[in-house]
């Protein structure tokens, strides 16, 4: 037998949705499988396991990432936010509310990834990060429909809920802007 086939384990810590977990993981285990199988956080979905569909998108140390492409052992000490961590004290986030309002999903399987991705999109725009369709790279990006479509294109939806998703992100972006102005 190949020696490489014998499982190797490592102790790691992860802070997931604000709770610290100490885990013994197979060094081959993806962050996605670790969340789903070890921590029972099945909100993050496995659509392709190859970083091609975005259903597993989580916030990893504040940035969106495909959890299926991240080896858990490589993220010892990381802070992870999953779809289960988007609502606060039972109150849905503005994005979650807007996804319901605009029917930004049908089967719901890509939805956790869409929501985590969209949460990061709002943050990235807030930080002034341009996208491939931003014309003026030095100006603050405005999340119009073209920007939203571009920035959300890493998350596939086979049901074809994109129009609802774009409307939902647009609405949440406006709310965030308004909140920002108020603050």
Partner 1 sequence: MSDRLESREKVTGAARYAYEHPLENPAYAAAVQSTVAKGEILEVHADAALRIPGVLTVLSCENAPHLHEVANGELAVFQSRTVAYRGQFVAAVIAETLDIAREAARHVRVDYVSEPFDVLLSADDPRLYKPDKVNPAFPADTEQGDPEGAFAGSAVRVDATYTTPAEHNNPMEPHTTAAQWNDDGTLTLYDSTQGASLVQDTIAQVFGLDRTHVRVIARHVGGGFGSKGTPRPNVVLAAMAAGAVGRPVKFAVPRQQMFATTGYRTPTIQRFRLGADADGTLNSIIHEVFEQSSTVTEFAEQTATPTRVMYRAGNRRTAHRLVRLDVPTPSWMRAPGETPGMFAQESAMDELAVAAGVDPVELRIRNDTDREPDSGLPFSSRNLVACLREGADRFGWEHRDPAPGVRREGRKLVGTGVAASTYPAYLRPNKATARAEEDGTFTVRIAAADIGTGARTALTLIAAEALKADADRVTVEIGDSALPQASVAGGSAGTASWGTAVVRACESLLGKMNGSVPPGGLEASADTAEEIRARDAYARHAFGAQFCEVEVDADTGEVRVRRMLGVFAAGRIINAKTARSQFIGGMTMGIGMALMEESAMDPEFGDYVNRDLAQYHVPACADVRDIDAAWVEESDPHLNPMGAKGIGEIGIVGAAAAVANAVHHATGVRVRDLPITPARLLPLL
Binding status of residue 142 toward partner 1 by CB under 8 A = no
Q: Is 87 in the site for partner 1 (CB under 8 A)?
A: yes
Binder of partner 1 out of 164, 167, 172, 173 (CB under 8 A) = 164
Task: Output 120 or 138, the one with its CB closest to partner 1.
Answer: 120
Cα distance between residue 171 and residue 95, in whole Å: 8
Sheet holding 63-66, edge to edge: 19-26, 9-16, 79-81, 57-60, 63-66
Find tokens 């986030």 and name the residue.
Answer: 93
User: Does 12 contact partner 1 by CB under 8 A?
Assistant: no
Cβ 16 to partner 1, closest distance in Å? 12
Count other Cβ atoms within 10 Å, centred on residue 11. 10
Dist CA 93 CA 95 (whole Å): 5
Query: Which stretches of the chain bind partner 1, using CB under 8 A?
Result: 1-2, 5-7, 26, 28-29, 33, 36-37, 40-50, 52-53, 55, 82-84, 86-87, 92, 96, 99-101, 103, 105-112, 115, 145, 148-150, 152-166
């Amino acid at each position: 037998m190949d020696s490489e086939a014998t499982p190797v384990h490592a102790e790691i810590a992860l802070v997931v949705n604000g709770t610290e977990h100490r885990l013994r993981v197979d060094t081959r285990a993806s962050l996605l499988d670790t969340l789903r199988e070890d921590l029972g956080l099945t909100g993050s979905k496995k659509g392709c396991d190859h970083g091609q569909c975005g259903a597993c998108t989580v916030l990893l140390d504040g940035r969106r990432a495909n959890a299926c492409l991240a080896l858990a052992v490589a993220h010892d000490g990381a802070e992870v936010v999953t779809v289960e961590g988007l609502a606060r004290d039972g109150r849905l986030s503005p994005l979650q509310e807007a996804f319901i309002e605009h029917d930004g999903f049908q089967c719901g399987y890509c939805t956790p990834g869409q929501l985590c991705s969209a949460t990061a999109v709002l943050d990235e725009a807030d930080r002034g990060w341009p996208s491939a369709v931003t014309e003026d790279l030095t100006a603050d990006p405005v999340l119009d429909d073209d920007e939203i479509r571009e920035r959300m294109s890493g998350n596939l939806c086979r049901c074809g809920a994109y129009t609802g998703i774009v409307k939902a992100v647009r609405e949440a972006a406006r709310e965030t802007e308004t909140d920002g102005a108020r603050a």
